């Protein structure tokens, strides 16, 4: 993706947290990143190239377009980024490929439950809180909980039967006062469960009563002049309030669901899809559809849902929707949530589809208002040639030879409707003997695009062949051999009537002589012809130089170049007198030249 292409996209980018994906021409994800501000983060990729690593520059160059999803918080962006990187394993992502999952706080389902940090969610009835983006922060929370509510951490099976039977001796934990000794019957299960209930309230964000308890504790410590202890409790509470959060991106209370929402405009509809597996969003997608005036949102969703589910191989038995939709699958359960985690997922989908719809409207307005002459010309060219994509990158080929000798060819490159001279290439014809323009064209087209494919360079959107049906057919042999006929548009332009030919179509099209798009095609054709002719003349001059002047004994390339530069041709050197030759190359060399031409007369 070029800086110019990004400038067209930039005005529509959100300034909200989210994740972004760089995607290549084959819809392969190259890189996934997160951002607190999507606009600023993406803009950083298209600033000064000196400030970007080589790998980043290559990734941006290979990207065809950018996709993104907005979320509520930066923490949610990190979680979604983590999930998507683990699923798609993008080529340019180094971090977060280690397979580690999120950290959770688990309250085990057992008598006198243990509370501990884990990365693995086991659906055995235990209660999980999270996910948490920082394990270090989670340790602060666990330490705070253990400070407020002494809990056991041993692996003893504390059933009431074992405790009543006095099966356990006084354990080490009891002696060091990490717990109140439930194994010795010194704490009732009812009292312990009350502490667990209070911990759950804290982790769910319902800690008003706990705050009151903290204040009383801090006040007590302050009255006893224990200011350090009061400050410690204050700091831990502040850390807890800062880091404890509930995410809509990953939830342990949800298993596998598909989430759909819709936004419509006058001529289009947009359907957003979130694919949730094991409580985590693993894919996001927004589908665009063309609508009729009388299409209802229910009918559009009914059409889009099975198509999207088939495309992304979804087999989930539950879908979350904003309203009732007649879905054909009998076993499919429709949920229209009003509260809870499923409602938050639906709201996230609705937020993305609404923003996507607004972005498209802004983009359309922006293109109308800020369309430059370059954009206008390229858009016109796209429409005149019925292309799927704007030809931001086009290339034009031409041949040049003199009765089959010194055959040469050129390829000129235009980017954003302007010559990119550093990308120009010329070719020596290697496999063709004699004057055969068709075979020469076939050779250079094949060599050009085989090399681009091998080096992983992007292909042009448009290829122009200077010539009519014959030249175009020759070029198409190479295009088909390379298997890129579906990735490029190729045309031939005949010089006399400026006819535009397409492959396998004997009837040309005519573009208005005053059209800016035709002028661009002509400019590329003329530039290719000039570049090929210049290269051919240089080759011919070198050939003549090698066969005429440098055959003189004692005369090298530099001396021959001096003579040709001064006299202009071999004929004039032959006709020059001794005085003229001495002035240019000296007495000794002048005698050699005169002697040589006297022998050849």
Q: Region 319-335: what's the mean pLDDT?
A: 86
> How much is the pLDDT for 205?
56
The enclosing domain of 65 has a CATH number of 3.40.1440.10
Closest residue by Cα to residue 167 from 187, 188, 190, 185: 185
Residue 177 confidence class, pLDDT cut points 50, 70, 90 = low
Does 11 reside within a domain? Answer: yes
Q: Does 372 fall in a domain?
A: no
Q: Is the pLDDT of residue 536 over 80?
A: no
Nearest alpha-carbon partner for 408 in 530, 539, 543:
539
pLDDT tens-digit readout, 126-164 = 888 766 656 766 776 777 777 777 788 777 766 655 555
Q: What is the DSSP letter of 36?
A: S
Tokens encoding 517: 């798009």
Cis peptide before 244 (omega within 30 of 0): no
Residues 426 and 503 in one domain: yes
| CA atoms within a 13 Å half-sphere pointing along the CA-CB vector of 527 | 21
What pLDDT is attached to residue 580?
87
96 within domain boundaries: no
Same domain, yes or no, for 458 and 338? Answer: no
Same domain? For 415 and 462 the reply is: yes
- Same-domain check for residues 11 and 40: yes
Q: pLDDT at position 404, please?
A: 46
User: What would the pLDDT profile of 380-410 be if each residue is shown by its tens digit?
Assistant: 999 999 898 999 999 999 887 644 455 678 8
Decide if 374 is inside a domain: no
For 442, how many CA atoms within 13 A lie in the half-sphere containing its CB?
Answer: 15
Confirm whether 346 is domain-assigned.
yes
pLDDT band at 97 (very low <50, low <70, confident <90, very high): very low
- Window from 6-20, 236-250, 259-273, 308-322 with minimum mean pLDDT: 236-250
Note whether 507 and 467 are same-domain residues.
yes
What would you measure as the largest C-alpha separation in the chain, in angstroms? Answer: 130
Same domain? 113 vs 227 = yes
Tell me whether residue 292 is in a domain: yes
- What integer pLDDT is reported at residue 415 of this predicted model? 92
DSSP state of 91: T
CATH number of the domain bearing residue 582: 1.10.150.20
Report the relative pairing of strands 29-35 and 65-70 from DSSP bridges: unpaired
Band of the pLDDT at 83, cuts 50, 70, 90?
Answer: confident
Domain boundary among 177, 212, 243: 243
Low-confidence winner among 157-166, 421-430, 565-574 (lowest mean pLDDT): 157-166
Task: Give residue-wise pLDDT tens across range 500-519.
Answer: 999 988 888 888 888 889 99
What pLDDT does residue 298 have? Answer: 87
Domain of residue 49, residue span? 3-88
DSSP assignments along 443-498, one per residue: HHHHHHHHHHHHTTPPPPSEEEEESSHHHHHHHHHHHHHHT-TTT-EEEEEETTTT
Are 409 and 524 contained in the same domain? yes
Confidence band for 243, pLDDT divided at 50, 70 and 90: very low
Q: Where are the beta strands (DSSP E) in 333-449?
A: 333-335, 393-402, 405-415, 418-419, 425-428
Same domain, yes or no: 15 and 149: no
Per-residue 3-state assignment (H helix, E strand, C coil) for 136-168: HHHHHHHHHHHHHCCCCCCCCCCCHHHHHCCCC
Which residues 6+ apart lie within 8 Å of 139 measured at CB?
A: 117
How confident is the model over 286-299, as pLDDT tens digits? 888 887 656 788 88
Rounded-to-integer distance, Cα 545 and Cα 228, Å: 94
For residue 98, is it within any domain? no
Closest by CA position to 270, among listed 158, 353, 148, 383: 353
Q: 261 and 345 in one domain? A: yes
The residue among 507, 450, 501 whose CA lies nearest residue 479 is 450
Residue 308 and residue 209 share a domain: no
Count of domains forming the chain: 5
Q: How far is CA 357 from the centre of its chain?
A: 21
Residues 165 and 283 in one domain: no
Length of the chain as a residue count: 601
What gap in Å lies between CA 234 and CA 405, rounded to an integer?
90
Q: What is the CATH number of the domain that holds 298?
A: 3.30.420
Instruction: With beta carbons less than 8 A apart as the criterion, state whether 521 and 464 touch.
Output: yes
Is residue 202 located within the same domain as residue 288?
A: no
Which residue among 29, 55, 88 closes a domain? 88
Mean pLDDT: which of 227-241, 484-498, 586-600 is highest? 484-498
Asked, for residue 310, whether it belongs to a domain, the answer is yes
Among 92-96, 316-320, 493-497, 563-567, which is the least confidently predicted range?
Answer: 92-96
Q: For residue 389, give Cα distances in angstroms to 37, 39, 352, 460, 489.
A: 29, 24, 26, 11, 9
**Which CATH number is 433's domain given?**
3.30.420.340
Question: Where is the domain boundary, 311, 342, 366?
Answer: 366
Predicted confidence (pLDDT) per residue in 253-278, tens digit = 677 899 999 998 777 889 999 888 76
Residue range 464-481: mean pLDDT, rounded: 91
Helical ranges in 45-156 per DSSP H: 54-62, 74-88, 135-148
Mean pLDDT of 438-443: 90
């Amino acid at each position: 993706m070029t800086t110019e292409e990004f400038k067209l996209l930039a005005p529509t980018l959100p300034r909200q947290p989210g994740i972004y994906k760089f995607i290549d021409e084959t819809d392969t994800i190259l890189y996934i990143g997160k951002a607190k501000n999507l606009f600023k983060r993406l803009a950083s990729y298209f600033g000064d190239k000196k400030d970007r690593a080589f790998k980043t520059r290559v990734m941006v160059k290979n990207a065809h377009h950018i996709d993104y999803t907005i979320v509520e918080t930066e923490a949610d962006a990190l979680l979604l980024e983590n999930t998507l990187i683990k699923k798609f394993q993008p080529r340019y992502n180094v971090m977060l490929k280690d397979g580690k999952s999120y950290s959770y706080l688990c309250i085990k389902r057992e008598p006198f439950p243990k509370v501990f940090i884990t990365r693995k969610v086991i659906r055995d009835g235990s209660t999980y809180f999270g996910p948490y983006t920082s394990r270090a922060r989670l340790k602060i929370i666990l330490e705070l909980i253990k400070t407020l509510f002494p809990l056991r951490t041993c692996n003893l099976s504390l059933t009431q039967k074992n405790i009543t039977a006095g099966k356990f001796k006084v354990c080490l934990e009891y002696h060091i006062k990490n717990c109140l000794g439930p194994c010795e019957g010194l704490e009732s299960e009812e009292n312990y469960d009350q502490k667990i209930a209070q911990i759950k309230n804290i982790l769910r964000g319902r800690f008003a009563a706990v705050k009151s308890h903290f204040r009383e504790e801090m006040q007590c410590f302050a009255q006893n002049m224990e200011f350090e202890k009061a400050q410690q409790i204050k700091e831990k509470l502040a850390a807890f309030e800062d880091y404890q959060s509930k995410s809509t991106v990953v939830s342990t209370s949800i298993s596998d669901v598909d989430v759909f929402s819709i936004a419509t405009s006058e001529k289009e509809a947009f359907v957003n899809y979130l694919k949730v597996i094991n409580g985590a969003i693993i894919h996001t997608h927004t589908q665009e559809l063309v609508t009729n005036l009388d299409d209802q949102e229910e009918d559009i969703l009914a059409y889009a849902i099975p198509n999207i589910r088939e495309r992304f191989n979804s087999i989930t038995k539950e879908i979350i929707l904003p309203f009732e939709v007649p879905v054909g699958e009998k076993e499919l359960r429709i949920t229209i949530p009003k509260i809870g985690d499923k409602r938050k997922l639906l709201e996230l989908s609705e937020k993305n589809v609404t923003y996507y719809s607004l972005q498209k409207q802004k983009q359309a307005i922006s293109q109308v208002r800020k369309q430059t002459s370059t954009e206008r010309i390229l858009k016109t060219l796209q429409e005149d040639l019925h292309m799927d994509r704007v030809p931001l990158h086009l290339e034009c080929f031409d041949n040049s030879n003199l009765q089959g000798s010194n055959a040469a060819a050129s390829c000129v490159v235009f980017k954003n409707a302007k010559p990119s001279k550093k990308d120009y290439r010329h070719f020596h014809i290697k496999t063709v003997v004699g004057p055969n323009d068709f075979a020469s064209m076939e050779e250079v087209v094949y060599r050009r695009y085989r090399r681009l494919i091998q080096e992983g360079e992007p292909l042009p959107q448009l290829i122009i062949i200077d010539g009519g049906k014959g030249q175009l057919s020759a070029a198409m042999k190479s295009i088909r051999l390379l298997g890129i006929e579906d990735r490029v548009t190729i045309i031939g332009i005949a010089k006399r009537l400026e006819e535009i030919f397409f492959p396998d179509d004997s009837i040309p099209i005519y573009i208005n002589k005053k059209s800016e798009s035709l002028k661009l095609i002509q400019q590329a054709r003329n530039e290719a012809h000039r570049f090929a002719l210049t290269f051919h003349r240089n080759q011919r001059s070198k050939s003549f130089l090698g066969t005429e002047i440098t055959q003189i004994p004692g005369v090298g390339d530099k001396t021959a170049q001096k003579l040709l530069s001064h006299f202009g041709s071999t004929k004039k050197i032959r006709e020059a007198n001794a005085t003229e030759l001495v002035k240019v190359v000296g007495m000794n060399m002048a005698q050699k030249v005169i002697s040589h031409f006297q022998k050849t007369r």
